[in-house]
Amino acid sequence: MSDHTDERETFHHDPIGHAEARAGMTVGELADSYGEAGIGASDIHEAVDIYSEMLDDDVTTFFGLAGAMVPTGMRAIVSELIRDGHIDVLVTTGANCTHDSIEAIGGKHHHGEVTPEGQTEREHDETLRDEGVDRIYNVYLPQEHFALFENHLRDEVFSTLEDEGAVSIQRMTEELGRANSEVNEREDVPEDAGVLAAAYENDVPVYCPAFQDSVLGLQAWMYSQTSEFTVDALADMTDITDIAYEADSAGAMVVGGGVPKNYVLQTMLVSPDAYDYAVQLTMDPSNTGGLSGATLDEARSWGKLEKDARNVSVYADATITLPLVVAAARERHSS
């Protein structure tokens, strides 16, 4: 048998170890242990390593939040990151803004079922329709909360903006954050005031480039039919590109895909620099050619990431990976 040892120019002596799962481990220790393993475990380990560097004060962090992350219980994680100064720019969906606001003013999401015993999924959803309950996989939301949200928007948000002329989407989310914060305190709501309130209280801009695709957007459109309220969809692009342009170092944490992902990444196309760090948490595969699963390495070809940027894509359910990556990175950053 010939010896090819001298021909292995790309091979390094770095044998796979074995992850540990022992009682008493911290989440940071578990993530470190993942670094001994391969496939998704090693990606999680790298994501923690990169994201912990993004938490440094000299890195301007853009956070993209897509999917049903608020109604599925990820709300407090994002709020706390904002309050602790770890998010400089938030880009999210109208749906997340809607569900965040519903909880801020007294509504609540509930544990549910996809297919209860004795029913097909369709039969179950027909029953929920009759009972006035909306389903997000295994999460329920009573429809009366949307009526509460509609009144909140009309009385506390839109009416205060209609005399300002065409407002930016960021100005609207800022006003929604203010209203959420004030109503939450005034009504003594047990639930925290949430993401938009935290952003308002800490001067963090929230961009929602496709807010029309949500109950928030529907309500804004309906209000505009009988008032002077209107939104300028292009106005935000000046502000977010200015932030990117002025950043000495920038990082992107992208949770999910769609519009928030692209809006975060495309910001660097009109900046002289690009992202120095990027972490993506997604379940969409890259081989379909779709944006949501596209690798961050692909984004490098567009000039959205620096050539020497540190980046990783983690392909798994973000309700599992986001808490793990954030907790482990914050543990490392605080030590």
109: its two tokens: 């999401």
Question: 3-class SS at 306?
Answer: strand
Secondary-structure breakdown of the chain: helix, strand, coil percentages, each rounded to the nearest 5? 50, 15, 35
304 classed as catalytic: yes
Distances (CA, A) of 88 to 22, 50, 59, 210, 302: 36, 17, 9, 20, 23
CA 133 centroid distance within chain: 25
- Do the strands 275-282 and 250-255 form a parallel or antiparallel pair, or are they unpaired? parallel
Beta bridge partners of 231: 167
108, 261, 304, 307: the active-site residue: 304
Task: Evaluate whether 283 touches 315 at the Cβ level (below 8 Å).
Answer: yes
236: its two tokens: 């935000």
d(CA 292, CA 281): 10
d(CA 173, CA 150): 15
Residues with catalytic roles = 304
